[in-house]
Amino acid sequence: MADKELQKVRTEFVNRVSTEVIKQLLDCLLDDGVLNDGEKESILEENHSRADKARQLIDKVKKKGAEASKRMIAHLQDKDKTLYGVLGLSGGQPAQPAPAAPAAPLAPAAPAALAAPPPSTVREFWMSKKDDPKIYPVTETSFRSRVALLITNIKFTEEKMNRRGAEKDEENMEKLLSSLGYEVVKFTNLTGQAIDDAVIYFTKHPKLKQADSVFVVIMSHGQLGKILGVEWRKDNPDEFPLDNIFKHLGSKGCPALIDKPKVIIIQACRGGERGSVLVSDSPNTADDVQQLQDFEEDKIQFVHQEKDFISLLSCTPDTVSYRQPDRGSILIQYIVEVFTLESYQEHIYELFQKVMQRVERFRSCDKLQMPTIDRCTLIKNFYIFQGLLNSSR
């Protein structure tokens, strides 16, 4: 039954469907008489987030039974073939016009010979890429061994530095990383030294030898080249040097990660405070992460000291990044959105570029933010293949 099919894909639908497709589905279901004007307005106006809109839409249609569910599946196939294919739906054949709306029958699907074929499933896409020498290798075993480090500083000794909304960032990033197949090693409210200790602890994780990649996400206040610890004060420079990430995860500090992608995401300001309804991540501080020019040569080792890294910083030097107290940081919101929708088929550089494009278009009065890809030493394309082990179809 189509309603049971919707129930099976409910979580993935909520995670992946775009706002544009939600609106298109609502219009189609309204035309069919599956939904009325009040139900459509309720879904759009009473839910602030994309996920909440998607959740109420699928739940409302599912409760209306198999015929309504069949119509929604058919419309999804027509409006978003990519999502339809990823969800593995099969009950989306065009239905007969609903009695309540005989004047607006469901448009027939385009002839198969003319329609663009649904994209390959995650597994088929992975199979097409796994032997490509230009791609970082991902096997089912290495996928199962993925690990990510998540550090979030929320509450500081100086209460005025508390990062309202950062709880949402932590929650959203943990869910995202888990959905990408990573076991999340999580720390909250650390001093600068404790951040350093946590990164070193992470480099000794037993899964790293088998893992194909790692994510390291650090969210806090920032200063020039540093992340601030929770005990930071003007008379107590509690700081973690950002360069230590590359030192600890580099070839010498973590041999288990040699030749493997290391994805770094830093949510912290790199400039001064600005007043706004949105909360600046770092008042009166800057986080100017400069690429080192003075690498020391290591004549003993025959591996690059620093390779296979890519970093996304929340803003360019001398500027601020913004956080909404009720939703979290702008950067993290768009990372979750882009990675949820695209990470099964786009490589990491493309994903970061799409995040940058969305943040660049963000506007709130005169508040602008521009993330930057930094210190990239990837020599191949890294595909995350989200949902690989969940996809047998």
- Please list the active-site residues: 221, 269
28: left (phi over 0), alpha (psi -120 to 50) or beta: alpha
C-alpha to C-alpha distance for 263 and 275, rounded to whole angstroms: 32
318 and 270 Cβ atoms separated by less than 8 Å? yes
CA–CA distances in Å: residue 69 to residues 58, 93, 156: 8, 11, 49
Contact partners, residue 38, CB within 8 Å, separation at least 6:
none
C-alpha to C-alpha distance for 6 and 12, rounded to whole angstroms: 10
**Number of alpha carbons in the 13 Å side-chain half-sphere of residue 41:** 3
C-alpha to C-alpha distance for 53 and 158, rounded to whole angstroms: 38
Residue with tokens 């946590």: 198
Of the candidates 315, 217, 225, the one whose C-alpha atom is nearest the C-alpha of residue 262 is: 217
Residue with tokens 């061994």: 145
Q: Residues of 345-378 as b/e, b for ≥16 C-beta within 10 angstroms? A: bbbbeebbebbbebbeebeeeebebebbebbeeb
